[in-house]
Structures are given as structure tokens and as C-alpha cells.
Amino acid sequence: AQKVTQAQTEISVVEKEDVTLDCVYETRDTTYYLFWYKQPPSGELVFLIRRNSFDEQNEISGRYSWNFQKSTSSFNFTITASQVVDSAVYFCALSEAGRDSWGKLQFGAGTQVVVTP
Amino acid sequence: DSGVTQTPKHLITATGQRVTLRCSPRSGDLSVYWYQQSLDQGLQFLIQYYNGEERAKGNILERFSAQQFPDLHSELNLSSLELGDSALYFCASSASKREALTDTQYFGPGTRLTVL
């Protein structure tokens, strides 16, 4: 069963618009980590942010911010004032701390973000 | 640049052949992970090694095997290749002390395998 769901396949915006990417996860573990990775057209996977299950404080880092809500099992990610360089596929990932899952990243299907000038 | 290196960058081979993909983790990282990214399956975890020992296994085919050497570099061996094995293969590394909770994984640039 899919443990990480990214319902948005593609989002197209014009430069300077904000973009919010949705991520819903499923786990029975009480300890887990959530991640966002970016895959630009060049193909590499770039780490963006990480959150553990005990810290629901939402933060802002530069143009990136995230909204973690355990009550709805959601970990949404926002890019403020988007730029053309933000065009990429964004992946949400879950890592459960259970003995059988330790270290394994489970990825969503990804959301393609297209930012046009 | 994540500090994780993978070679080769591209690999083109024929069905039935065997290939070896190589990964060098970030300096000081003890854990190495292998992932496969394909159009139909997305990003899938294959296997993890920690300080030379297999730590976790995912959806890895029996035709595939991996190992981590004393210098901590890792190799992923793919044999009896099929057309469906064409994919982007990523290696990632993390500090991951055995007793620690999950550390952030940093990914290499990937090896694109094309099986003809």
C-alpha cells in the first residue's frame, strides 16, 4: 500500500506566484521522519527539509516553508515567490523508525512544478 | 554537490548482460542505500548497508546484489538484465549510527542504465 500520497501530478505557475505541494502519509509508528526532496531536470535528488514526528512546529527557511499536521497526516510544502529555477519534481518521503523500516525512505509519486517567466 | 559520487553516469547494455554500479559515500558516512527510479514504479528502496553489513532490504530482485567494502564504498550488481531494468539507480549515504534515529540521506547524481 502506498504510504506517501502526493495527489498533485503537476502544478504550473507564473514566476513570483506561491506554490503549495500537498503530501499525505500513512504510518502506525509514533516515531518517524518526513522529508522533501527536489529533482531538477538534471536528474539529481536534492535534500530540502526534514521533520520528525515529535516536532509539529512549522518553519520558514528562505523561500521554503512547511506545514506539518499530525492530526491530518499531512506535510505540505510551500515555495514563496517562485522562480524559474524552482521548476523540478518535488518528492515527499517518509522514514519510519521501526526495526524493519529503519532508514528506508518511502517516496511519493512526486509533483512536477513548472514555473514560467 | 552532495558529496556522494556514483559511476558510471550512463550505462548502455544488452539484455542478459551483467553490470556493476559503484558508489562512494560522503566522507564519514557509514550507511549506503540504493534506490531505483523507473517510470512505472517511481522511486523504490532496494537495499541498505551499514558499515559493511546488510541492514535492510526492500524490493530488490534476486538477480540484483550489493555489497559494501571496508573503505565503505558500495557496488550494486545487476545480472541477467531485462528491458524492464532500465532505470535511474541512485545511491545515498547517511551518518546513521546504529543506535541513532533516521539520519538525512544525501543522494548521488545517479547512474542511468539503459538495457537494449
Average pLDDT in chain A = 91
Cβ(A62)–Cβ(A79) under 8 Å?
no
Q: How far is B55 from chain A (nearest CA, A)?
A: 9
User: What is the per-residue pLDDT across A13-54, written as a single tens digit (0 to 9) for each?
Assistant: 999 999 999 999 999 888 889 999 999 999 999 999 988 888
pLDDT for A30: 86
Of A44, A91, A101, the CB nearest to B43: A91
User: What is the per-residue pLDDT across B58-94, written as a single tens digit (0 to 9) for each?
Assistant: 989 999 999 999 999 999 999 999 999 999 999 999 9
Cβ(A25)–Cβ(A75) under 8 Å?
yes
Cell digits of residue B39: 517510470
User: What is the per-residue pLDDT across B33-56, written as a single tens digit (0 to 9) for each?
Assistant: 999 999 989 999 999 998 999 988
Cβ(B72)–Cβ(B30) under 8 Å?
yes
Q: How far is A100 from chain B (nearest CA, A)?
A: 7
Instruction: Look at B42 and A45 and tell me if their CB atoms are within 8 Å.
Output: no
Instruction: Look at B2 and A44 and tell me if their CB atoms are within 8 Å.
Output: yes
A61 CB-contact burial (10 Å; exposed 0-12 / middle 13-18 / buried 19+): exposed
Give the helix, strand, coil percentages of chain B, each rounded to 5. 5, 50, 45
* Chain A 35-74, residues with CB within 8 Å of chain B CB atoms: 35, 37, 43-47, 50, 52
Q: Looking at A74-78, A87-91, B58-62, which range is the least confident one?
A: B58-62
pLDDT for A100: 65
- Quick one: average pLDDT of B2-21? 97
pLDDT band per the 50, 70, 90 thresholds, residue B100: low
